[in-house]
Amino acid sequence: MRAPTRGPFDAAPPPAAARMLPAASVMLASLVTIWPFITSFPILPPLALMMLLGWRLTRPAVFPIWAALPLGFFDDLLSGQPLGNAMLLWTLCFFVIDLIDQRLVFRDFWQDWLIASGSIGFCLIAGRLIATPLGAHVDTVLLFQFVIASLLFPFVARFCVWLDRKRQGA
């Protein structure tokens, strides 16, 4: 079967750098976890997950549903979580967001914020259950991470929109 030809009035496909920018921004957010921060307890939010959700909720066509798998693998390699943790949890979040997209005709920013907060909370809690023993006292730190991530998500979403405008040349 032949590939469809582009008509004379169809827009040109974006260059390779513009296509790679969303994935590169998520990978750069994964690299933030290896930066040596000195704190008494870890409160760094999952920036790569927040960036991935920001792209998925503001521009749904940028990432296919399978894109969370290799990006989660990259994050697992850098974050120190058990291999497959982010791969599984991020892909499940993408499936749930796709299901919500099919059910809702229109989403507002508040709904995006709620969806992102629920996804971040799910990934943090499930990651805690997978990676640490149940007797570990990390629930307070997990709560701080969730609150910080939920409050920072609007800024991450606006940053994704700003990157998308730069990507499209507007």
**Looking at residue 152, what DSSP letter applies?**
H
| pLDDT 10s digits, 55-81 | 999 999 899 999 999 999 999 999 888
> Would residue 94 count as lying in a domain?
yes
Which structural domain range is residue 114 located in?
A: 45-168
* Whole-number Å distance between alpha carbons of 135 and 145: 19
Within a domain: residue 12?
Answer: no
Total domains in the fold of the chain:
1
Burial (CB count within 10 angstroms: exposed 0-12, middle 13-18, buried 19+), residue 127 = buried
Give this prediction's pTM: 0.88
pLDDT digits (tens, 9 = 90+) for 122-148: 999 999 999 888 888 888 889 999 999
Is residue 132, in this structure, part of any structural domain at all?
A: yes
Q: Is residue 85 part of a domain?
A: yes
C-alpha pair distances (Å), 149 with each of 63, 68, 102, 158, 162: 21, 19, 26, 14, 19
* Residue 27 lies inside a defined structural domain of this protein: no
Assess if residue 24 is contained within a domain: no
Within a domain: 158: yes
Q: Confirm whether 30 is domain-assigned.
A: no
